[in-house]
Structure formats: C-alpha cells, structure tokens
Amino acid sequence: MLNMTTHRERAAALFRDLQDRICQALEAVDGQARFREDFWQRPGGGGGRTRVLSQGGIFEKAGVNFSEVFGQMSPEFAAQLPGEGLDFAATGVSLVLHPHNPFVPTVHANFRFLTKGNKQWFGGGADLTPYYPFREDVVHFHKTWKTVCTRHGPPVDYARFKKWCDEYFYLPHRNEARGVGGIFFDYLEGDFEALLAFVSDCGANFLEAYLPIVHRRKGLAFGPQQRAFQEFRRGRYVEFNLLYDRGTVFGLKTGGRTESILMSLPPVAQWRYDFHPPPGSREAELYEFLKPRDWADEVSTS
C-alpha cells in the first residue's frame, strides 16, 4: 500500500502540472501580460512558487500559487484539525483571477491535499463572483461542475458540494453571499486513487468552466459607473478573504509566505458608506443572483 509521503508526492506533482497548464492558458487568453514567478521557502519546511500576472489585456491581476509545506503546527491550531499530534504536510494549488472588465466575473479555485498524524484528506472547489451577472454564464459554470461530480462516486456529491459552497462563501456580517457559488469540499477521506482522480478531473475542467464566460464578456463596453460598482463589490471579496477564508487562515497560522497568501486580494477595491444600488438597476440585479438557486438544473439562455 502506498504510504502518505508517496500520496503527498503524487498530489504535489498533479498540482504543479495544473499550475503550469492554467498559467499557460491564461497567458494565451490575456494576450498581453505574462506571469511573474517567485520561488519561496517556508521556515520550518517546504515552500512553493507563486505566479502573478498584472495589468494584462484582460486580467487586472491574476494569481496562481503552488505550495508544498510541512513541519509542525502550533498546539492551538492543531487542535482545530483532524489527526493526532502537531506534524503536518500540505500541498495544493490556488488561484484568483480579477479581470479589468466588470462584466467578466472574478473566479477562485483551489485544490489541496493535507496529512496530519494518521489522517489525510483532500479539499478544494471553485466559485464564481460576478459583478454584472448573466444567467447563461452562471448556469454554464454550475453545469460544468455538476458534470464533473457526476462522473465520480461517493463521497463526491454535487448537491452536497454545491450547498457547502453556498454556505461557505457567505458573509454573515453582511447577510449576503460573496458570489453565485460553485462547489466546495473539505476533509474528503477514503480511496486515495478515486479522490485523486476526482480532484484531477476538477483541475482539468476549471478552464472549461470559466474561459467561455471570459470570451463572451471581455469585449463588452463599460464606463466609470460599472467600474465603481465592481470596486465596491470587490470590497466584499476582501472582507471574506481576510475574515473567513480557510486557506488564508491556514497559510498565516502555519508560517506561509504572506505575499503569496494575500495574492488573492484585488488590486483596487473601495468601501462606500451605506451604499444601496437603485431598485431596478443592473447593479441591484446582482443581489437576486446572490440568492442560492439550483443553477445547474436551469436552461442556459441569455
């Protein structure tokens, strides 16, 4: 039987390759900028490579991070995770893409594999954060992930992962969702080969879930009003990532590289006091999309 070290090595190889393939595809789509690459070492064990594209033709900021770290957690943080002891190892790939055009949604995805004591598990997912949503885009995103999930057996369950995503990417202090969801899963244990195949399938289909939306919306004209609303909603993105995001907390609690951990933040955001979009406006329409629905079961029409 393969031991956990070998499992980690195989997961890390998958995530490195996924980072390469996604970055190559995003550079081709952007057509203007290229990723800057930084290698970093974590005090205590491991490191990673961070790639960030800035001020491109489509993406104002795109970050795609790979990491493989190991060592010991603090007793306080270790008590919050499955498994015995303080020793841990974690590897994963995470990305956040912030386009210039407010009609192109922000997207996030991450896939990870962790070991702690006698426990090992996968986590991850992908979710969409539009500013000016289009129904066919949201339906396409959800249908893609439902198709991926239905190719795999338990514990993979699209309905469960979709609900988990809706509940996770939620700002309780605002009483609103961050975006329109997708899938989210954590602590997936069991048959390593089956779960690795599922996570690999997710990674292979991320571009299919997102890039058709980019191509449909990248040429739409926008002005200062749309840009201001995009920056206002980006503020919600910042609030979630700094207050609730598990990846942010895990990275900071385990001594990861701060610049890499916070690469997910948008380059420009704003907080407008007590702002409410006018009823019936395109901006107000977003809030109807933020209410969870079974998007994957709807007919895709514009």
Query: Residue 115 and residue 83: Cα distance in Å, rounded?
Result: 8
CB of 283 within 8 A of CB of 229?
yes
Structure tokens at 103: 């009609």
**Catalytic annotation on 100?**
no
Cα–Cα distance for residue pair 255/263, rounded to 1 Å: 15
Tell me whether residue 137 is exposed, middle or buried, using C-beta atoms within 10 angstroms of its C-beta: 0 to 12, 13 to 18, 19 or more.
buried
| Tokens, residue 111 | 């896939």
- CB atoms closer than 10 angstroms to residue 223: 8
Catalytic residue among 7, 98, 108, 140: 108
Q: Give SS3 for 197.
A: helix
Strands (E), the chain: 36-41, 46-54, 59-72, 87-99, 106-116, 119-129, 170-171, 176-177, 181-188
Residue with tokens 């690795």: 196
What's the token pair of residue 288? 């109807």
Give the separation between CA 113 and CA 122, rounded to whole angstroms. 5
Q: Residue 294: what are its φ and ψ, rounded to 5°?
A: -85, 75
Give me the active site residues, please.
108
